[in-house]
Amino acid sequence: MRRLPLYRVDAFADAVFRGNPAAVCPLPAWEPDALLQAIAAENNLSETAFLVWPADPVPLRWFTPRQEVPLCGHATLASGLVVLACLAPERDSVTFATRSGALVVRREAGTFAMDFPALAVEPVGRVPAALREGLGVDADQVLVTREDPNYFVLLEDEGAVAALHPDPRALERLHPFGVAVSAPGRSADFVSRYFAPSYGIPEDPVTGSIHCALGPCWAERLGRGSLTARQLSSRGGDLALEVRGDRVELRGKAVCYLEGEVLLP
């Protein structure tokens, strides 16, 4: 029987049972993609991160319960915690090699800071019927990004975002696009929620990657690069952002909930 280490981390949280749980599985070398996908499906979390250790930079990939994705924030934060707190606690930073380029996670004053690419958004030409049907609201503005395929729906206030009761069956028809909904916040500069049912994620608790687009979007609207954000899922999560040209720094806390092993025949 083979044994693979497995960590479960609550990302963008300062205590367990909050934020977004991610699994992190360090590997001595890449396993077949079918096995990685099966492990992610078995974990049944929004993301399972697989990294090859030791290496420099550290190869990193992310899998939802249904497929691999090109970018993930909370599972990168979780992977940074595993490397910097468990695998190499003497280090202050780690560079991951990913499909979205080099991503650096560093320890910073009780939090973890992540250097991510800014994602360009553009107005959508025609709002898909499934998006209107799935959200059940008239959007003030709908944007889209192609690099990490998502629609971004801007609403008038935090209450409108919190009150949404989307239809996952309608939103699933938008694949490969997920749907982020955002508005000015009362307790933060802006708030959001994120839905990706076609990836096996009816609602993601806290989604770092969408803030690579929302950060620049709200920085332009608010006229400043330093922002706070809150995701309004049932678990909730908080992020701090610094928008710097074509990069976005995401900062948040993370805590390890579980250490164990995957047992393979």
On average, the pLDDT of the chain sits at 96
The model's pLDDT over 35-93, given as tens digits with 9 standing for 90+, comes to 999 999 999 999 999 999 999 999 999 999 999 999 999 999 999 999 999 999 999 99
What tokens were used for 180? 């982020």
Compute the distance between CA of residue 27 and CA of residue 81 in angstroms, rounded to an integer: 16
Average pLDDT over residues 125-137: 93
Cα(202)–Cα(179) distance, integer angstroms: 10
The pLDDT of residue 262: 97
State the pLDDT at residue 110: 87
Active site (catalytic) residues: 47
Ramachandran angles phi, psi of 185, nearest 5°: -110, 160
Q: 250: which strand partners?
A: 114, 241
Q: Given CATH 3.30.1330.10, say whether it is the number of domain 122-245.
A: no
Rounded mean pLDDT of 113-126? 94
| Token pair recorded at residue 181 | 């909904």
Give which of 255, 253, 256 is closest to 113, Cα–Cα. 253
User: Could you give the 3-state DSSP secondary structure of residue 76?
Assistant: helix
Q: Does residue 110 or residue 166 have the better pLDDT?
A: 166
- Decide: pTM greater than 0.95: no
pLDDT of 146 = 87
Q: From CA 52, how far away is CA 58, in angstroms rounded?
A: 6
Helix (H, G, I), strand (E, B) or coil at 246: coil
Place of tokens 């001595």: 28
- Segments making up each domain of the chain, as ranges: 2-115+252-264, 122-245
**Residues 225 and 244 sit within 8 Å (Cβ to Cβ):** yes
**How would you write 126-171 as a 3-class SS string?**
CCCHHHHHHHCCCCCEEEEECCCCEEEEECCCHHHHHCCCCCHHHH
What is the CATH class of 2-115+252-264? alpha beta
pLDDT score, position 139: 75
pLDDT tens sequence across 84-114: 999 999 999 999 999 999 999 999 988 999 9
Concatenated DSSP letters for 56-67?
SSEEEEEE-SS-
Residue 220 has pLDDT above 80, yes or no: yes
pLDDT of 147: 86
Residue 231 — pLDDT band, cuts 50, 70, 90?
very high
CB 242 within 8 A of CB 225: yes
- Three-class SS string for 96-110? EEECCEEEEEEEECC
Evaluate whether 2-115+252-264 and 122-245 have a shared fold. yes
- How large is the C-alpha radius of gyration of the chain? 18
Query: What is the model's pLDDT at position 125?
Result: 85
pLDDT for the residue numbered 138: 79
